[in-house]
Chain A
Amino acid sequence: MQLLIQQLLNGIALGAVYGLFAVGFSLILAKMGILNVAHGTFATWGALSSYWLVSEQGLSFWAALVIGVAFAGALGVAADLVAFEPLRRRNAGTFAPIIASIGIWIVLLTLAEAFSGPTATSYPTESVPTEPIRVGGLLLLPAQVISVLALVATVTAIHLLLTRSRFGAAVRAVSVDPRSATIVGVNARRVLVTVAFLAAAIAGLAGILAALSDNNVSFGIGEALLLKGFAAVVVGGYGDIRGAALLGVAIGVLEVMSAQYISSGFRDAITFGVLLVVLVFRPQGIFGERQLVRA
């Protein structure tokens, strides 16, 4: 029982990172209609930049976290300015942005590889919180607590922002039709850039927390997150970030539980099995209303 609860907590913490990444990924997919496969590299660069700030520049972890998140957000904005905006202006259609995002993925991944070198490292132990918290026989690592808090805070903030604020209304207008939105006085460019920033910044946060939880900073962080994040978005359903966040957590729990009770080799296989089953039988996702299947 003790073990079960402990593993459940571990799963939730792991899943919180997946959920966080999925929130950003789904934000840009649902609100801007862009399947951005470079999203994983934003996470990688969030982690790499914060690592560099901590270990090379001697910044505190928290300062590095903030700057790393902002840096990832800036990369997202740059991607939008350099690639997605020109395509939007040319009305280039469905595939062009995916292909462009693959180009960005290649660039950012190659640079990350060159920047970090082939071997993985981790944040210097003295600079990050490591003291475990004990709650009646259960053991919680600070990274786990931070991840869960970060997910809850981010989802709440983004959800309120999208549903309750004027900015949210503007986002909705732009995501339906940027041109008409402009006509009714929304600054579509600013909305798009802000969404791009938010989505990428959240990815950066997820990357940093993944590196912190795993005790491992490497250029491969983003790839793993991309897969899990995609699974969470697909299974959770398109369009609602709460679904993506919840499914991210579920995937984390599923992974930890299957590693504990079935076999660690099956860990990934089970996630992908679930992904496949949902793609085939319920392509709109568990919570999805809007039909994404080709009509």
Chain B
Amino acid sequence: MITLQFAGVNALFALAVYASLWTGVLSLAPVFFGAVSAFTFGYFAGTLGMTPLLGLLLGAALGAALGAVTAGLLIRLDSHYLAMATIAMVLIGRVLILNLPEQTGGASGTLVPGDLGTWAWLIGTLLVAAYLMARLAGSRFGLAADAVREDPAVAETLAISPRRIQFVGMVISGVLGGAAGILQSSFLRYIGPDTFYTHLGFVTLAAVVLGGAFHWLGPIVGAVVFTILPELLREPMGEYDRVVTGVLLVVIIIYMPRGLVDVRRLRLVRSGWWRRDGPAPGGPDQGEPTAARAEVAP
């Protein structure tokens, strides 16, 4: 049961990663957003007391603000540097926590009220997040995000400003990451420097990659698989369960780059392209149709 709850929180984090990947930005920043909102929540809940709903809204708002600042500073970087910079944010987050013991409790961490750590809050938040994503898919923003991710250069000649779309993606990513951080801390009731660190980032990213980064259902499915799988493996594999996460990540990205929830494949099957005389998808100049064709210089 506990495991399923964490699957839910991880799904929120994964949706946050998905929100920026949707616009062609690979970012682990949601883990950092989650850390900031959780420690802020811990600090204020400890000193002022705070109702659960207010806490959740605070987390989302703080995440949005951080997302906006991050995007404002980093969006123009080359995608490699951008990805690395967000990984650096996660690593730096831990340094900050350790160096601000007054506010964060430093190495010994902080206690957080557990009011939000219930099924009702978790499912409620997840439903709201899924609704959000479902509404955005197919909207003006959603189609522009698809276009920017698939081919930013072409998107730009359709009057779409990729940076603007990526900015919005990062803000949405911040909202979801901030909220996920609050819920995570509430379930754990204790947060420390390692709570929002690389391991969470890895699981989250693995979830998005496995589930599929091309439909909002993907990250949710992936998070459930990647939270339950290590639990099942803990018995036979002991401390090595994470190795499976890593290996799966490599295998999936090579053999199933569009993940489990692959809308494109469904559409291919539905339109039965192999029976037509049209060219097979991914024809001569198309390469692997992932996020990727992205940076190809015009």
Q: Tell me the A residues contacting B by CB distance below 8 Å.
A: 29, 35, 37, 82-83, 86-87, 90-96, 98-100, 102-111, 113-114, 223, 226-227, 230-231, 234, 265, 268-269, 272, 275-276, 279-280, 283, 292-295
Contacts and interface: CB of A to CB of B under 8 A. Distances in A.
B245 interface: yes
B205 A99 contact: yes
Given A93-B292, A102-B205, A227-B91, A111 B243 contact: yes
A279 B248 CA distance: 33
Given A103-B250, A276-B73, A96 B257 contact: yes
Nearest to A79: B250
A226 B85 CA distance: 12
A295 B288 CA distance: 22
B88 A90 contact: no
12 contacts: A29-B80, A91-B288, A92-B253, A93-B288, A96-B290, A98-B80, A99-B253, A102-B246, A110-B243, A113-B239, A268-B95, A292-B81
Interface residues of B, number: 47
Nearest to A227: B91
Contact of B254 (A35, A83, A93, A98): A83
A95 B202 contact: no
B87 interface: yes
B288 A94 contact: no
A177 to B, nearest CB: 12
A293 B288 contact: no
Interface-centre pick from A99, A276, A292 (highest chain B CB count, 10 A): A99
B260 interface: no
B209 A293 contact: no
A103 B288 contact: no
Contact of B288 (A92, A104, A269, A279): A92
B83 A35 contact: yes
A93 B240 contact: no
B164 interface: no
A16 B297 CA distance: 36
B254 A87 contact: yes
A110 B242 contact: yes
Nearest to A98: B83
A94 B292 contact: yes
Nearest to A265: B99
B257 A83 contact: no
A293 B249 contact: no
B26 interface: yes
Given A279-B77, A292-B81, A106 B290 contact: no
